[in-house]
A = this chain, B = another copy of it.
Amino acid sequence: MTSRFLAACRKEQVDRPPVWIMRQAGRYLPEYRALRERAGNFLALCTTPELAAEATLQPLRRFPLDAAIVFSDILLPLSALGVAFSFPDNGGPKLASPLSRDSWQALAPPASWEAMEPVAEALRLVRQELAPEVALIGFCGAPWTLACYLLSGGHDADWSRARQAAYREGEALLELLLLLGRAMGDYLAFQVAAGAQAVQVFDSWAGVLPAELYRELAVPALAALASCLEPLGVPRILYLGQGSHLLAEVAELPFEVVSVDWRTSLAEAAAITGKAVQGNLDPAALAADPPTVRQRTKRMLAQAPPRGYIANLGHGIWPDTPLEAVEAFVAAVQEVP
């Protein structure tokens, strides 16, 4: 059975837009919260294949989604480069200290992805359970976004350290970004070997850079990443957070799909990049009552290109989202045409 999701990534004709939700395995689901409790902590949930597979599958049991995305975190594979983030229960992921230039220049590409074997096993377990028409997505963080975390040592409102490094020591930073790009490309190939049928690269903090620096620093590293996947033939999706000013910069990159947030017009993203597009309802919109969610979703669909479109939110779903809003969103897409 063909996957509606994979067909849309390739801009093939589909009966209706495929739909999935970024962070669909997440805290808005009561069954996820129970599983998270059972796992004890976030890291255990990610690194125990049976639990990660279960988290991945939960939203599919509740909503008729067209894709599953393996439950993991963009910072986990950095452990294979010798950089271990901790995931405290409160507040975001943390490094013991932000990477200095000396420490980032000492990073080496991982010799193997053995440490990430639990993710591969979760992918295999999920693929066994999934209906054949539901696509399985692997993912990683984009080099720039990973560098933001590495140089800040955790989440930061302004990502000031990474941005300052971009201006102050751009050449050295580019080396780091290229290293991360090659490593993440390799990591995605490892996920494809375990069953991922498409991959998404999250450049969540793309939008803090001006176009000029994105072109100088982020784009070459994304090109290195994407080229590792070239022989595998799986659709590559680039999530571009706050990237309405970066569409022209990514147009030539070998990604088949660009995923945009609620601040970027779907029509403009399709026209400027020539790629399939994914997105882009504001996660805040799901705070409204179901009829309003349905109406906002219909307006989003009206702006989508007729071919090469995957319905999604513009960013990860928020933990306080009511389930009936998610239902209204998914149903509004599935009623098309």
Interface set of A (CB-CB < 8 Å, partner B): 157, 160, 163-164, 166-168, 207-212, 242, 244-245, 262-265, 282, 284-285, 287-289, 292, 296, 299, 318
Inter-subunit contact A210/B287 (CB<8 Å): no
User: Of B244, B245, B282, which is within 8 A of A167 by CB?
Assistant: B282
User: Of B211, B263, B265, B284, which is within 8 A of A265 by CB?
Assistant: B211
Residues of B within 8 A of A244 (CB): 244-245
User: Of B167, B263, B285, B318, which is within 8 A of A207 by CB?
Assistant: B263
User: Of B157, B167, B245, B282, which is within 8 A of A296 by CB?
Assistant: B167
User: Which partner residue on chain B sits nearest A299 by CB separation?
Assistant: B212
Docked pose: A284 CA to B165 CA in angstroms:
9
Docked pose: A262 CA to B158 CA in angstroms:
13
User: Which partner residue on chain B sits nearest A263 by CB separation?
Assistant: B245
Q: How many subunits of this chain does the assembly comprise? A: 2
Inter-subunit contact B262/A292 (CB<8 Å): no
**Which of A167, A168, A318 has the largest number of chain B CB atoms within 10 A?**
A167
Inter-subunit contact A287/B164 (CB<8 Å): yes
Residues of B within 8 A of A288 (CB): 164, 167-168
Rank and list the top 8 A-B pairs by shortest CB-CB distance, nearest first. A164-B287, A163-B284, A167-B288, A244-B245, A210-B262, A167-B285, A168-B288, A245-B263
Q: A168-B288, A289-B168 are in contact. Are A160 and B210 (CB under 8 A)?
A: no
Min CB distance, A186 to chain B, in Å?
Answer: 30
Inter-subunit contact A292/B167 (CB<8 Å): yes
Inter-subunit contact A168/B292 (CB<8 Å): yes
